[in-house]
Every structure is written in structure tokens, then in C-alpha cells.
């Protein structure tokens, strides 16, 4: 492949030659919105390099280029240049390339002189002419004052002329030039089909790979180096298909990447060199002079990430920072370059402290029913789970499951059941789920035992009724709540001490159930193999409460809250800004 490909980036002003759009391609079809988007992207990108999609060509025997892919943008840029030339710069702008559609004889003449008169000769011409009008309107609409339109538009023309490198001051809009040699007609059609059927574009990873595998020298040493890169490339790609590794590195969905190695390349592009276009990663690598040496940097970067993944403390601390959104992996790598092990650990601990140092709010004041508080509580509970798992050393925190799931906060002691949606099936399920809890209450007092039997009878009667009402449910729910709840007068329903992490689906399934019913359902979920975060499981097993009598197993008491918060303070003492108050 390397002998048959020339791959580089070219400024628009460096594109020259005659381009033939072959008959196997459809004609020009860009709509006004696509033209405006291109113009806005070029303008908004500022002075950063902006790479347009790859222009895939092959040189014909007559010296002309067959345009295999990229004709829509190359044609649009040509129309833009013609507009600038005809309306503003006239003889001071030279366009170095021309376009001709094989199925439209005279298309080159129309592109050089676009008029309403011939716009309806072919459908392609109408789209081209509409693009020309869209460009004209876009430039003129840059001024809100009609009298100043020409002057303001001229200023934008000068700006675009610079971006397209039509002046001596240079430009920054580039095409990715992908030239294939020694390709037969049928292979060119096959390549076009691969690129266009289902719109599977050349990706950053494919282009970067071609860069590394395009060798100028034709010798044994160069061939050996190329083979080594190809082998190492495949190894990295295979290892990145380990979902545990992937989800340690990023919260991004792996399905968004056709080649997972592209994530590593994206990490390596400095933040100030990233731009809005799709191929900024390719452009960054295309500017490297000694690609053989730079591949060593790629390997060094990758193996550093792999080393972090393998070491438990680093895996958990770095994985947490990425999962909670406090730091991107690329930033962690950049900020820890050349750090010794002790410095790296100190850096990570400081970043974790920073991640839960919330401005102007104490931990004890965080509330579920506040948007900011909800996010802060979620972050503390995530850290509590990660550090708890890390310290026990039996297993690893599964970032693969965490990053691929939508999480929510679950009330350990529920919000009042009457807050449930007013649906009979939900009321019945709620009463049914609490039958076992009430029946297992060990009431030694004779009056309490009678109240228990009476309540069980009312619950069964409720379930037997053909139709039930909100008032009937509220009466039963109040009695069940009274029987199974701690008698604290404090309203701590929405506080940190009453929150645990569960997936949104699991949260919905619990349906405002009381503690014992939730405990039973969570145990069933765990038995079915559903992932329950470590600390959530421990909460419903009363792991944090030193002495839990039989009655306490049915409710979430003040003692339980205090024990839960004490466990957080104990596990997170190296990171908390202040001690959490129950």
C-alpha cells in the first residue's frame, strides 16, 4: 500500500490541475445549509488549521486527475473562489484548478460563468447556481446596515481570501490530499463505493496510519520499519477492544470510533492545536517531520496509559477522575509528564480533593432536591464506592459498567409513598412488596402483635379489592410507614446520609418502597447478576451499622445514618474538605 499512496495536506491555494469527476459518481448536490455550514466553520475556526475532508484522486495518463472522492467540497470551494474573483478581486485572484463533470459536457464552462440563464440545463447546474447565490447572500448578510453591505462584505472577502491562501500572507484552510497510483478503473470504482455507499468516510485513524506507512525510501530497512508499525498498530487496536481498558481511558462510547486507536491520537493532540474540523488529528500528525521517531512517542504514550491501567491505585484514582468528569485522560497525561511516582500520586490525590471541594457549600447542606446538590452528592458517592473497593483490594471498581450506565440517586429511606404516580397497579405493587416486611416484624408486646395482625389483614383486603382509591392507599401506606420506619422527627430525606447510587432502571423498579422491601429487591437484583455498586449493597445489608437488632433491619434509622456517614468520613478522610455531618 505504501508505494501506491501519496498522503499530505495541501492549502486550498496549492491545489492545481484539471479534475475530472467520473461518470460513476452522482452530480453536485449540496444544499444551501451545507454551503452555509462550511462558510461558518471556516470563519469560526479562526487562525487554527482547518482540514476539509480528504480529496481522493488518481493521476491519469493524460496528466489530469480523476476525482474519486471529495467532489462536493472541492466544487463548493471552486464556486466560492469564483464568487470572490468575479465580485471583488477580478484579475487579482488566480484559481489554479478546474473541474469537469464527465456526464455533463460543458460543466467546466458553466462553473466559470454561472448564470440563471443556463442554471436549469441540468439539475447539477441548478445546485451549483444555488450554492453561488447562497455564498453571495451569506457574505452580504454579514452587515446589518444595508448601505454598508459592500464595504463589510469586502472585509469578509479579504478574510476568506487569506484563509484560502490566495494572498502572500498565507492561509489555513487545507484539503487532505490522498493520491493513489497504479489503480485500475475497477479498483477506483470499488474505492469510491467503499467511501460513499453508506457514507463511510476515511477516518482520522486510517489517514494517520497511511501517513506512517507511506515511506519515501524503497529499501529493506524502511520496509522492516513499516512492518513493525503495522504489527504494533494491530496490537494496540486489539488491546483497546478490552472494554475495561477503554472505559478506564474515557467516558466516550467506543461505538463512535471505527478504529479505537484514534482515541490515543486524539489524546496526543495538544488542546491549543485542536480545531473544529473533523481531521484536526490527522493534520497534527501530518506536520511531524520524522514520523519514525514520532511513532516511538506514540508507543511511549500508549504504554504509559497501559501501565496506569495495570496498577490498582493508579487505575482507581485516575479512573475516578475521568469517570466523574473532573479531568480528561489527555490532561492527566500532559500535566504529569516526567513526574516521578511519588509526584504522580501526590498530583492525583490533590486532583481528587479538588473534585469534591465544592464552592460555598458544606457537605451536610447538600440536598437531593437541588440540581447542584444532586451532582455533588453523586460525585461523593462515586468516590466513596471507588475508594472503598480500592482499599479492600479484592476486586476492581468496574468503570466499564459505571461509564456505560445512566446513574441516579436512590433514597435509602423513601420519599413518602403518596408522591408516587396515581396508578392503581403501582399502589398494589407497593402494598404487596411490604407484606413480607410487616409479617416478619417480631412484636413481643401483645398490643403491638395485634396491631401487626390487623395491619396485615388490611393490606390483604386492599389487594383483594377490585378497585382502590388514593385515600385508601394513603391510609394503608401511613400505617405501613409507621410500623417500619424509625421515629426520628428530623427531615433528612434529601440529605447525603439518605442517598445511595443505583442505575436509573433499578431506581424506578424500587418504586418508593420502604427500606426492607428495597433490601429484598436489591438482593434479588444482585442474585440475577445486575451490578449493584459496592457501597449501595453494603447499605442495604446494614454493613456499616455496628449493632443492628432485628427491628432495625426493617428501617433506616438515625443510628444507621450516623454509621453510614462515619464510614464515608473514614474512607475519604484523605480527600474531604471537612468532615461530613450526619
DSSP letters, 451-475, are HHHHHHHHHHHHHH-S---HHHHHH
- Cell numbers 465544592 correspond to what residue? 358
pLDDT in tens, the chain (582 residues): 344 667 788 888 889 999 999 887 778 889 999 999 999 888 887 777 788 878 889 888 899 999 988 889 999 999 999 998 888 776 677 889 999 998 788 899 999 999 999 998 888 899 999 999 999 998 888 654 444 444 444 566 777 777 776 555 567 888 888 888 766 665 666 665 655 544 445 677 877 887 777 655 556 676 778 788 888 988 999 999 999 999 999 999 998 887 899 999 999 988 777 766 677 788 888 888 787 888 999 999 999 999 999 999 999 999 999 999 999 999 999 999 989 999 999 999 999 999 999 988 899 899 988 878 999 999 999 999 999 999 998 899 999 999 999 999 998 887 666 666 677 887 887 788 778 777 766 666 777 778 878 888 888 888 888 888 888 888 888 887 777 665 554 557 788 998 999 999 998 887 677 777 888 889 999 999 999 999 999 999 889 988 655 556 667 777 788 899 999 999 999 999 999 987
Angle between helices 291-310 and 204-213 (to 10 degrees): 130
Rounded to an integer, what distance in angstroms lies between the CA atom of residue 263 and that of residue 302? Answer: 10
Number of residues that make up the chain: 582
Could you give the C-alpha distances from 94 to 14, 78, 90, 167, 182, in angstroms and in order?
Answer: 11, 11, 9, 10, 31
The residue among 77, 25, 78, 26 whose CA lies nearest residue 52 is: 77
Please tell me the predicted confidence (pLDDT) of residue 554. 66
> Is the separation of the CB atoms in 48 and 172 below 8 Å?
yes
Which of left, alpha, beta for 237 (phi over 0: left; psi -120 to 50: alpha)?
alpha
Rounded to an integer, what distance in angstroms lies between the CA atom of residue 301 and that of residue 304? Answer: 5
The residue among 224, 261, 282, 247 whose CA lies nearest residue 531 is: 247
The residues near 196 (Cβ < 8 Å, ≥ 6 apart) are: 25, 69
The residue among 112, 88, 107 whose CA lies nearest residue 164 is: 88
At 66, give phi and psi (nearest 5°).
-85, 120
Rounded to an integer, what distance in angstroms lies between the CA atom of residue 525 and that of residue 305? Answer: 34
At residue 420, the 3 state secondary structure works out as coil
- Give strand pairing partners of 9: 176
**458-484 residues labelled b (16+ CB within 10 A) or e (exposed):** bbeebeeeeebeeeebeebbebbbebb
The answer to whether the Cα torsion of 437, 440, 444, 448 is positive or negative is positive
Residue 479, H or E segment: helix 470-484
At 412, give phi and psi (nearest 5°).
-70, -55
- Give strand pairing partners of 178: 7, 56
Angle between helices 220-239 and 291-310 (to 10 degrees): 30
| 3-state helix vs strand vs coil in the chain, percent to 5 | 60, 10, 35
The residue among 241, 536, 266 whose CA lies nearest residue 400 is: 241
* Most distant CA atoms of the chain, gap in Å: 106
H helix intervals, 291-423: 291-310, 312-323, 329-335, 341-355, 371-392, 399-403
Angle between helices 558-571 and 371-392 (to 10 degrees): 70
Amino acid at each position: 500500500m505504501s508505494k501506491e499512496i501519496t498522503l499530505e495536506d495541501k492549502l486550498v491555494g496549492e491545489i492545481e490541475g484539471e479534475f475530472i469527476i467520473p461518470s460513476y459518481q452522482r452530480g453536485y448536490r449540496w444544499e444551501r445549509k451545507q454551503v452555509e455550514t462550511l462558510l461558518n466553520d471556516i470563519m469560526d475556526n479562526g487562525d487554527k488549521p482547518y482540514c476539509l475532508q480528504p480529496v481522493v484522486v488518481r493521476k491519469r495518463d493524460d496528466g489530469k486527475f480523476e476525482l474519486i472522492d471529495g467532489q462536493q467540497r472541492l466544487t463548493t470551494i471552486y464556486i466560492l473562489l469564483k464568487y470572490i474573483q468575479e465580485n471583488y478581486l477580478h484579475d487579482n485572484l488566480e484559481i489554479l484548478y478546474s473541474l469537469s463533470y464527465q456526464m455533463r459536457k460543458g460543466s467546466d464552462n458553466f462553473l466559470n460563468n454561472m448564470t440563471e440563464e443556463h442554471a436549469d440545463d441540468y439539475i447539477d447546474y441548478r445546485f451549483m447556481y444555488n450554492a453561488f447565490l447562497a455564498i453571495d447572500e451569506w457574505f452580504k448578510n454579514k452587515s446589518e446596515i444595508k448601505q454598508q453591505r459592500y464595504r463589510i462584505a469586502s472585509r469578509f472577502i479579504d478574510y476568506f481570501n487569506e484563509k484560502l491562501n490566495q494572498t502572500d500572507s498565507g492561509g489555513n484552510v487545507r484539503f487532505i490530499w490522498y493520491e493513489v497510483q497504479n489503480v485500475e478503473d475497477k479498483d477506483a470504482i470499488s474505492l469510491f463505493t467503499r467511501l460513499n455507499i453508506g457514507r463511510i468516510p476515511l477516518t482520522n485513524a486510517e489517514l494517520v496510519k497511511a501517513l506512517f506507512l507511506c515511506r519515501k525510501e524503497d529499501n529493506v530497512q524502511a520496509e522492516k520499519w513499516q512492518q513493525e508499525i503495522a504489527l504494533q498498530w494491530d496490537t494496540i487496536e486489539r488491546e483497546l477492544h478490552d472494554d475495561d481498558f477503554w472505559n478506564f481511558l474515557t467516558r466516550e462510547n467506543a461505538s463512535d470510533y471505527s478504529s479505537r486507536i484514534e482515541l490515543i491520537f486524539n489524546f496526543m493532540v495538544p488542546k491549543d492545536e485542536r480545531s473544529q474540523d473533523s481531521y484536526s488529528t490527522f493534520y497534527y500528525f501530518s506536520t511531524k517531520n520524522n514520523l519514525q521517531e514520532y511513532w516511538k512517542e506514540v508507543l511511549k504514550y500508549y504504554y504509559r496509559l497501559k501501565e496506569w491501567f495495570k496498577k490498582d491505585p493508579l487505575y482507581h484514582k485516575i479512573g475516578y477522575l475521568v469517570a466523574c468528569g473532573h479531568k480528561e485522560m489527555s490532561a492527566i497525561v500532559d500535566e504529569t509528564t516526567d513526574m516521578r511516582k511519588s509526584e504522580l500520586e501526590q498530583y492525583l490525590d490533590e486532583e481528587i480533593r479538588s473534585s469534591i471541594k465544592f464552592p460555598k457549600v458544606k457537605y451536610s447542606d447538600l440536598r437531593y432536591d437541588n440540581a447542584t446538590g444532586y451532582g455533588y452528592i453523586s460525585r461523593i458517592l462515586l468516590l466513596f464506592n471507588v475508594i472503598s473497593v480500592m482499599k479492600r483490594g479484592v476486586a476492581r471498581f468496574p468503570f466499564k459498567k459505571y461509564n456505560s450506565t445512566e446513574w441516579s440517586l436512590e433514597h435509602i429511606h423513601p420519599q413518602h409513598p403518596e408522591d408516587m404516580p396515581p396508578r392503581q397497579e403501582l399502589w398494589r405493587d407497593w402494598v404487596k412488596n411490604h407484606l413480607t416486611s410487616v409479617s416478619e416484624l417480631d412484636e413481643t408486646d401483645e398490643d403491638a402483635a395485634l396491631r401487626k395482625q390487623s395491619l396485615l389483614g388490611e393490606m390483604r383486603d386492599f389487594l383483594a379489592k377490585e378497585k382502590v382509591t388514593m385515600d385508601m392507599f394513603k391510609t394503608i401506606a401511613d400505617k405501613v410507614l409507621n410500623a417500619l420506619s424509625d421515629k426520628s422527627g428530623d427531615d433528612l430525606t434529601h440529605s447525603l446520609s439518605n442517598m445511595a447510587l443505583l442505575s436509573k432502571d433499578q431506581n424506578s423498579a424500587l418504586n418508593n418502597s420502604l427500606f426492607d422491601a428495597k433490601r429484598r429487591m436489591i438482593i434479588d437484583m444482585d442474585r440475577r447478576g445486575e451490578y449493584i455498586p459496592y457501597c449501595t449493597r453494603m447499605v442495604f445489608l446494614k454493613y456499616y451499622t455496628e449493632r443492628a437488632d432485628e427491628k432495625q433491619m426493617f428501617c433506616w434509622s438515625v443510628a444507621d445514618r450516623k454509621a453510614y456517614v462515619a464510614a464515608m468520613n473514614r474512607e475519604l478522610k484523605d480527600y474531604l474538605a471537612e468532615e461530613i455531618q450526619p
